[in-house]
Amino acid sequence: MENRKKIKIAKLFQAITYWPICYLLKFFVHYKVYGQENLKGLENKAIIFASNHTNFIDGPISAAVMPRYKKELYPKQFFPIRFLALGKYFSPKYLLVALYVWINGSIKVWAGTGQDLNVVLGEAIDALKNNGRLWIYPEGKMSRNGKLQQGRRGVAYLHQQTNVPIVPVAIKDTFRILSLKTLLRTRRVSVYVGKPIYSLGDVSMEDGVAKVMSKIAGLLENRRV
């Protein structure tokens, strides 16, 4: 019951903030999304979105990626998007961030090596098995230089455990977005949605992750993959 309530709150929050976020993005950074047609047929289905990560605002930007159909007020066939967030951000130490990740329906994960992925990603796996739409940053953390980093095993593990398609996404030009260029509206932010990956093949998790990261890299280079 608590989980259902959490999902309803997240959906309401994302629906309310959808248009303000879209308008702010369009006004300040001329926000554009390419490849929404690749989501056709995935409405109301479990999806693993996997993208690069260079800024805290990537979350709100990601939610604005979803398409609307038949004059919908918001992308109700895709909301809520549930983001995987590091456990430390749920701490009272990060009060405003903790409030945001909670109300946004984020799923807590703990960083580190050598951990049992079934434990670390247990809630995420349950969400996918219940038709959840998850957004994961395979790099595991924000890039410190704006460049795509090596991916971690989580995205491949989620796919292996649930057989849910992975949609690669590239978020361009959000690195150090809090700048004078943004205020002067000379900055451009765009998002490229790739074609769904329905199978990573009979490969190791490392090779599976490499395939996903290669797709994201291609989108960052404006190659439609």
Region 109-125 average pLDDT? 80
- What is the phi/psi pair of residue 77, to 5°? -80, -5
pLDDT of residue 223: 60
Answer yes or no: is pLDDT of 225 > 60: no
Answer yes or no: is pLDDT of 91 > 80: yes
Answer yes or no: is pLDDT of 114 > 70: no
Question: 3-state class of 118 per DSSP?
Answer: helix
What's the pTM?
A: 0.93
For 180, residues 6+ apart whose C-beta sits below 8 A from its C-beta are none
Domain boundaries, the chain: 2-220
pLDDT in tens, 126-175: 999 999 999 999 998 889 899 999 999 999 999 999 999 999 999 999 99
pLDDT of residue 140: 87
Question: 3-state class of 200 per DSSP?
Answer: coil
d(CA 224, CA 153): 24
Domain 2-220 CATH class label: alpha beta
pLDDT of residue 1: 43
Give residue for tokens 């369009």.
26
